[in-house]
Amino acid sequence: MNSGATAFVYVVLRILAALGAGAVLGWLAGSFWFGISGALALYLAWNLWQLRALHFWLQHRSVADPPDAMGLWGDVVAQVVRLHRRKRFHKEKLTRLFRELRRSTAAMPDGVVMLDPQGEIVWFNRKAGELLDLSRRADLGLRIDNLVRNPDFVRYLRGGQYSMPVIVRLDTPTERFIAFQLIAYGEDQRLLMLRDVTREVRMEQMRKDFVANASHELRSPLTVVAGYLENFSADPGLGELGAPVAEMRRQTDRMTRIIEDLLELSRFEANDGPIKGAPIDVAAMAAMLRKDVLARPVHPRHVEVSVESAACLIGDEAMVQSAFSNLVDNAAKYTPSDGSVYVRWWSDDAGGHFSVRDTGPGISAEHLPRLTERFYRVDPGRSRETGGSGLGLAIVKHALHRHGGRLEIDSAEGRGSTFTCHFPSDRLLEARVAASA
């Protein structure tokens, strides 16, 4: 028998004993029921006293000792004491964990802000307070988008796509660039990570400015050198110097292409924001790209264009032309003369898609993540032979970024490559609408 059942039996026996004693005393006093009533009244008074003692202890348990009760009341007091001790143990444990969490987040080099489902600040560490100039007394409970009033940050906060951070320029109190990344956890709770990337942004801007200025300054002297070499190569009396001059012309042309690509890439990077543009006839552009490939002295045997959508693409025509031209040019250069190049334009519910597929040597998997890096080459020797600058796919990536699109690469060694440009549906304009516009 457990302690609860034992205590209950003890209570029953005590009631029976009290009734028996009351009955005997009442019988001796000449009133049997008066004795029983008196015994029950005394027992009720004793229980009320025990209840009062328990109530007083529950109200003052932090300073008072638990009452010394017997029977069922003693068992109730023991249960409450155990629950109180267990609660105090877990509370102390959670308090220690929270203190350790606060110490660890305070030591982090990045800022941390906890947000509730409404975007209100629940807590932030010391670094976040420094980066955003936050005050615990004034800013706790306020909405984060009321404190960081930047359109890019507000769009990121409400967009629902948090896989990549957003870099925001802030002027509090000096100019800073902060990278924000939101992490969802728990029941619609969010953790906002902050990192000061001012130095990285400025170094990147310096690099872009240097590349743009250096490319611009190199273009003029290189044009002069190319002009002299062209005149020299036209002289029939060069003799043995003919071959070196021809090689110098080839290398000069290659340097000119690299500089032109650098200038084009710098122009794309000068403004990273989205562009509106105008309707572009992708079918006509694809047909022109096919004609350019077939006009080459050496080209793949089959160059096919498949236009499966009459929708126009809204964007900057020169930028889109550059991106598509780089993809088709790469496919033509790396596809053998007996191979094929397939250009396709189609649309669906996800948006518009432009793909270039070739039957060239293909690219192994370890190279795919780095293909859009500047000057990255899978086979440097072969790229130099074909006159590649190593900037074509970087230009494609930036052009797509400006149009809200992305580049997908599917390739494997020995089975060719497919480069697909994906554009969002808001970049499409139906043919009938474009015709009436």
End-to-end CA distance of the chain: 90
pTM exceeds 0.75:
no
What is the reported pLDDT for 108?
A: 73
For strands 175-185 and 189-196, give the pairing: antiparallel
Is it true that domain 108-196 has CATH number 3.40.50.10190? Answer: no
Write out the CATH class of domain 278-436. Answer: alpha beta
CB 406 within 8 A of CB 422: yes
Q: Does domain 201-269 have CATH number 1.10.287?
A: yes
Phi, psi dihedral angles at 242 (to 5 degrees): -60, -45
393 three-state secondary structure: helix
Half-sphere exposure for 5 (CA within 13 Å, toward CB): 2
List Cα–Cα distances, 346 to 162, 297, 410, 421, in angstroms.
29, 30, 18, 11
Lookup result for tokens 């009442």: 26
Per-10-residue mean pLDDT for the chain, 437 residues long? Answer: 59 68 67 69 76 78 71 74 82 81 72 86 84 84 85 82 82 80 81 87 77 74 80 75 79 78 71 76 92 88 91 90 90 89 92 93 84 72 55 85 89 89 89 42
Torsion of CA 367, 372, 377, 379, to 10 degrees: 50
Report pLDDT for 252: 81
* Sheet strand arrangement including 406-411: 302-307, 340-348, 351-358, 417-424, 406-411
pLDDT at 111: 86
**CA pair distance 28, 198, nearest whole angstrom:** 100
C-beta of residue 423 within 8 angstroms of C-beta of residue 313: yes
Number of residues assigned to the chain:
437
Domain map of the chain by residue range? 3-102, 108-196, 201-269, 278-436
Q: What does the pLDDT read at residue 299?
A: 86
Classify 28 in phi/psi space as left (phi over 0), alpha (psi -120 to 50) or beta. Answer: alpha
